[in-house]
Structure formats: structure tokens, C-alpha cells
Amino acid sequence: MTEQRIILLTGCSSGIGAYCARALRDDGWRVFATVRNEADLAPLASDGIEALLLDYTRPETISAAVATVRERTGDRIDALFNNGAYGQSGAVEDLTTDVLREQFETNFFGWHELTRQILPLMRRQGHGRIVNCSSILGLVPYRFRGAYTASKFALEGLTITLRMELQGSGIHVSLIEPGPIATRFTANALAKIREHIDLEGSAHAVEYRRQLRRLDGSGPINKHKLGPEAVYDVLKLALNVRSPRPHYLVTTPAKQGVLLKRLLPANLFYRLMRRLD
């Protein structure tokens, strides 16, 4: 009988992480799903998923989660899906350095720490899969998303470097780059922009009003937005194919953005991006 494979996922309270945790369980994986808040443990546990606390900004929770998985599995983790993140909206000039640092602690430094703690296990096993859920904004910049874009650009560079360094080790590393996905991500971004940005005192106050209409759902609906199952479709490929690709693009806008960036002169491409809402 084939041994059940073990995966650790982060950011599983809702959206992509919650969907993928349950889908992986249905596909036969032993799933360890992490959340930041204790209240989010019970729904996962009730569905037969081993739920753990992990907050990327608190290194002690990263170490504790990894230690728990190692204890329960006899020091084995076959795959890691880094997914937990949030998007800090706001013009670059309106972001304090502390706000930018907070974005990187969650979206970048915590991912690096978790990955470093799991890599020694995978090296001893001689195999493993690491999949990082990035964003199309890790490849294509977007106005008023400077903090999030910067964190994802950094993640792209670190992940591909890691992939090259692990060549021949049996450990495969991939990135998923979604465009718009139907999750609570937008609602969380709305809370963060209100928390950290002086919306009325900014030179961009008029533009912020338009942005807030998009974030609170009162503006135009994005007809290209897909459900989290679209991410799971490519996650399965990254976890199962013999030679996973470095990049997996999800949604039509993501694929169009990368294609246009390749084809258009830089000035024209960035003017085009400037006009997008």
C-alpha cells in the first residue's frame, strides 16, 4: 500500500488555504493546516484535518508547529505550501517604514523561516515539494499595492534562487501566481488600508475613494475572478508531476499581464498598467 503523504499548509482559516486543505484531505494526503487564531482551529479539526496555530510574525509559533508535525509523523514532511499572507494597500509615499516592515514579516520573512526549518527534514528524506503562493503582483507591479508587490517580488527572487540551489537534491520548488481569486483577501486589504493610511489627508485622497469602492464591493465586479479551486488545480500539478514548473499562472488577467510585459516596450506597458483600476 502506498504510504500516505504529509503536507503542511499555512493560512487555512479561509480562502485558498481552507479550500486546499480540504481538497488535499479528500485526495488522500495527511494534512496539517495552520491558522493564526485559535477560533479558526475547530472548523478544520471537525473536518478531520490536523489544525495547528502558526503566525508568521511570531517565530516561536513556527517552531512549535514544525515540532508538532515532526513528533506526530516521525520526522517526515513531504510537502510545504506557504500560503498565509495579506495585502497592504496604499501609495508608496503614504506607507511608513513600520507598515512596510509588517508586510514583509508576514509575507516574506516568516515564509523563509518556516521553509528553513523544514528543509533539513526534506534533505534527510531525499525528497520534498515546496510550493509558495505568490501573486501576479510578484511579476507585474500595480498602483497602490507597493507594499504587497514588493513583498511578492522579493518572494519570487528568493524562491527561484532556492529552486536553483536545490537542483539535484530531490526537493522541488515552485511558485503559484494567481490573479483575482474569490477569498477574504480584499476584505482584509480594506481593513489594513483604513488602519494604516491617512485616506483623507493624502495627496491621493481622490484616488483612494475610488479604490475603497472597489475594495468594499460597491464598485465594478471583476468578471475574471475565479474560485480557490483554480489554485488547487495547479497546486496538484506542482505536488504530483515528476518535474514541476517554476511558475504556475492562475486566471486570465495573470496570464495576460505576463504576456504583455514580455511583448510591449516597458514605457508602453507601464502606461497601460497605470490606467488599470
The amino acid occupying position 110 is G
Q: Per CATH, the architecture of 6-186+222-252 is what? A: 3-Layer(aba) Sandwich (3.40)
Q: What is the pTM of this model?
A: 0.94
pLDDT in tens, 92-101: 999 999 999 9
pLDDT of residue 2: 62
CA distances from 180 to 95, 226, 252, 254 (A): 23, 7, 9, 8
pLDDT surpasses 60 at 218:
no
Calpha distance 20→18 (Å, rounded): 6
Calculate the average pLDDT of the chain.
Answer: 94
Q: Which of 19, 148, 232, 248 is catalytic?
A: 148
Calpha distance 170→188 (Å, rounded): 37
Q: Across residues 244-270, what is the average pLDDT?
A: 96
Confidence of residue 1 (pLDDT cuts 50, 70, 90): very low
pLDDT in tens, 221-242: 567 789 999 999 999 999 999 9
Largest CA distance in the chain: 64
pLDDT surpasses 50 at 90:
yes
Calpha distance 147→101 (Å, rounded): 9
Residues in the chain: 277
pLDDT in tens, 40-85: 999 999 999 999 999 999 999 999 999 999 999 999 999 999 999 9
Confidence of residue 213 (pLDDT cuts 50, 70, 90): confident
Whether residue 56 lies in the annotated active site: no
